[in-house]
Copies of this chain bind each other. A is one copy, B any other.
Amino acid sequence: MSETLRGGRLSSKRDDVAEFTSSIKDDARLADAVIDINKAHVIMLMEQEIIKPQDAAKLLQTLFAKLDLKMDSSSEDVHMAVEEAVLQQVGPEVGGNMHIAKSRNDQVATALRMDLRKQLINLMFSVVTMEQALAETAEKHVETLILEYTHLQPAQPVTFAHYLLSRFDALERDLQRLQSTYVRVNLSPMGAGALATTSFPISRERVAELLGFDGLVENSIDAVGSRDFILETIAALTLTAVNLSQLAEDLIVWSSPDFGVVELRDDFASTSSMMPQKKNPEVPEIIRARASHVLGDFVAAAAAMKGMPSTYNLDFQEVTSKLWEAVENVNSSLKILAELIPNLKVQSDVAEKGLKSFVAATELANTLVRKYHVPFRSAHKIVGALVKTLIESKRTFKDATPELLQKTAKDTLNIALTVKADDIAEAIDPKKIVESHNVTGGPAPATVKKALASRKKHMAQAKSNVTELEKKLDEAKKRLESTARSISEGKIPENGRFKNSKR
């Protein structure tokens, strides 16, 4: 059990209590960030003349060395593990000052944000990769007809590319939300201390800059006490996960042989231990289920934060684990889907099935409106009655003759209606229907091609934006390292700044 903080106010902690309250398992991932924060903090303390250059040099040397971190429940958390490892190296005289003007409360918030911004960048790359998979697959299926459903009932013919682009556009909004979230995540709480900043003349701005942040979480109570950046991330991920689960549902339903719209490649499916004929769509099933996990993570995090008093409470520690779960969950789903989508086989011959399921009914009604001047609501009723008649006599739209239509119009609305056989034939041809649906956002191949082109351009831009974010972090990291290195070697760094201009 770590004793650095004990022996003064409190005596030792029981082992079972230490284990119960320790966050060390989740903290391992934060170790790098915590070391960077300590480097930046030490640099700033020296620049602000709060600690001596030679002390700063010693601390930085230690922080560069391989620290012997005790990452088990004998340390309370990663913050104490790092401080204790440093203390062991340089002794209390020098090491005892590394924690001047900071607290675990601001340090943990800072480390979380540093880890999370990297994860957000990964996630954004994964979304773009998934978009790429959708766009490339769409490119191959601009002419591939499928029947789309509403209420799981056959509705209208579209192209598979059109369907894939609908998923693309949904993902694009997910990307936008992650981008907005990034802006609120990449701010530095450091210097907020326990909740009230400090009486030492620190520069919070300098630490933020050294750590690659775009600015501060300014108010100190807000800086240590807010976790909406975590809730916002999990909320954004929940929406992404729901989007992916809808795609998964389509794949599950459509790969059922009864639908037979798509088929997973063998290496993406499993069979049954008992039933030799089975080919089960396991990947989409897992994705569908895991959307529930992310929702559960959001509930866990939001219910924990709800009603918290201001500033820091240990409950926050338990919120963090749910964040990482959600991040990992959605990222792995995105990655596997980006592999699965381009490998789908699509059943493109929908002609007969289309006739059987009457997906041309709307277009036939439209034809009556357009060419025969029947009001739409009347056309809708006539065609509805026609469909009913055909179903009841186990026939399809192939059997929709001018005579039958005439009789139906008469029986239903007492309208005299003589439709040319050619007009019927054209109205019930899925290919022609799709081609005629060429208004903005429609499924016509020409329309989809245009949409695809603009999305590809947009995607390149999105990718470059994310790359830019990553580059900024890399550069900040390099600057931090070189500044810290110089000081640790007793040099005054070029871009070092000092409180008073005397140096």
The residue of chain B having its C-beta at the shortest distance from the C-beta of A440 within the complex is B204
- Residue in B92, B168, B220 whose CB lies within 8 Å of A375: B92
> Measured between C-beta atoms, what is the minimum distance from A282 to chain B in Å?
4
Cβ A104 vs Cβ B221 within 8 A: no
Cβ B150 vs Cβ A311 within 8 A: yes
In the bound complex, residues from chain B placing their C-beta under 8 Å from that of A195 are 148, 150, 155-156, 158
Count of chain A residues near B, Cβ 8 A? 202
Cβ A99 vs Cβ B274 within 8 A: yes
> A151-B312, A293-B304 provided; 18 other pairs, C-beta below 8 A?
A4-B377, A7-B412, A80-B273, A96-B378, A97-B375, A99-B274, A103-B275, A150-B313, A166-B225, A191-B439, A205-B440, A231-B239, A258-B258, A276-B361, A276-B383, A288-B307, A289-B315, A292-B299
Asked if A235 is an interface residue, CB under 8 A from chain B, the answer is yes
Give chain A interface residues in 279-334, CB to chain B under 8 Å.
279-283, 285-286, 288-293, 295-319, 322, 332
In the bound complex, residues from chain B placing their C-beta under 8 Å from that of A221 are 148, 158, 162-163, 166
Cβ A14 vs Cβ B268 within 8 A: yes
> Measured between C-beta atoms, what is the minimum distance from A152 to chain B in Å?
5
> Measured between C-beta atoms, what is the minimum distance from A382 to chain B in Å?
7
Cβ A317 vs Cβ B289 within 8 A: yes
Asked if A358 is an interface residue, CB under 8 A from chain B, the answer is yes
In the bound complex, residues from chain B placing their C-beta under 8 Å from that of A151 are 252, 278, 280-282, 285, 312-314
In the bound complex, residues from chain B placing their C-beta under 8 Å from that of A278 are 9, 150-151, 153, 155, 361
In the bound complex, residues from chain B placing their C-beta under 8 Å from that of A96 are 375-379
Give chain A interface residues in 239-295, CB to chain B under 8 Å.
239, 241-243, 245-250, 252-253, 255-260, 266-283, 285-286, 288-293, 295
Between-chain CB contacts (< 8 Å), 23 pairs = A9-B387, A10-B271, A14-B268, A14-B339, A93-B375, A95-B377, A99-B273, A150-B195, A151-B252, A152-B309, A155-B196, A162-B221, A173-B226, A180-B180, A225-B246, A246-B310, A249-B307, A274-B362, A277-B362, A285-B315, A295-B300, A295-B302, A296-B297
- Residue in B283, B379, B388, B451 whose CB lies within 8 Å of A219: B451
Asked if A402 is an interface residue, CB under 8 A from chain B, the answer is no
In the bound complex, residues from chain B placing their C-beta under 8 Å from that of A241 are 306
In the bound complex, residues from chain B placing their C-beta under 8 Å from that of A422 are none
Cβ A322 vs Cβ B296 within 8 A: yes
Cβ A274 vs Cβ B104 within 8 A: yes
Q: How many identical chains are in the complex?
A: 4
Give chain A interface residues in 407-447, CB to chain B under 8 Å.
412, 433-434, 436-443
In the bound complex, residues from chain B placing their C-beta under 8 Å from that of A212 are none
In the bound complex, residues from chain B placing their C-beta under 8 Å from that of A61 are none
